[in-house]
C-alpha cells in the first residue's frame, strides 16, 4: 500500500476532472479524494496497491476528454486514508 498526493495543472476545472478521477480511482480500487484548489489546480490523494496508484497517477497526465493537463506533480505522503474515494 502506498499514498501519493498529486497536483494537476492546466485546464482541469470545469471539465468533469473530479468526477472522472473518482470513477477511475474506484475502478482501480484506490482510496482518497480529489478537490479543486483556488489557484486552478486539482489536488488528488491516491492510496492503495502500488500498481493501482501508479495507473491512476498516469491517467492524471491525460485526464478526461475536455481537460488539457500541462503538469502533474506527485509525491509520496503518509496521509490518513479516508474510506472510499471522495470528491471534496
Q: Which of 16, 18, 4, 1 is nearest to 58 (CA)?
A: 4
pLDDT of 69 above 80: yes
pTM to 2 decimal places: 0.93
pLDDT (0 to 100) of residue 36: 97
Query: Active-site residue 68, yes or no?
Result: no
| Catalytic site includes residue 4 | no
Banded pLDDT at 78 (limits 50, 70, 90): confident
Ordered by where they begin, the domains of the chain are 2-87 (3.30.70.100)
- Is residue 79 pLDDT above 80, yes or no? no
Which residue is catalytic, options 18, 22, 24, 41?
18
User: Above 90 in pLDDT, residue 68?
Assistant: yes
**Residue tagged active-site, from 5, 35, 36, 61:** 36
**Distance of alpha carbon 67 from alpha carbon 12, whole angstroms:** 5
For residue 43, pLDDT beyond 90: yes
Amino acid at each position: 500500500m502506498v499514498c501519493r498526493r498529486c497536483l494537476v495543472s492546466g485546464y482541469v476545472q470545469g471539465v468533469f476532472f473530479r468526477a472522472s478521477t473518482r470513477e477511475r480511482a474506484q475502478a482501480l480500487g484506490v482510496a482518497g479524494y480529489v478537490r479543486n484548489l483556488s489557484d486552478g489546480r486539482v489536488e488528488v490523494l491516491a492510496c492503495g496497491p502500488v500498481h493501482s496508484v501508479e495507473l491512476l497517477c498516469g491517467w492524471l497526465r491525460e485526464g478526461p476528454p475536455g481537460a488539457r493537463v500541462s503538469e502533474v506533480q506527485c509525491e509520496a505522503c503518509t496521509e490518513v486514508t479516508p474510506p472510499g474515494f471522495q470528491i471534496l
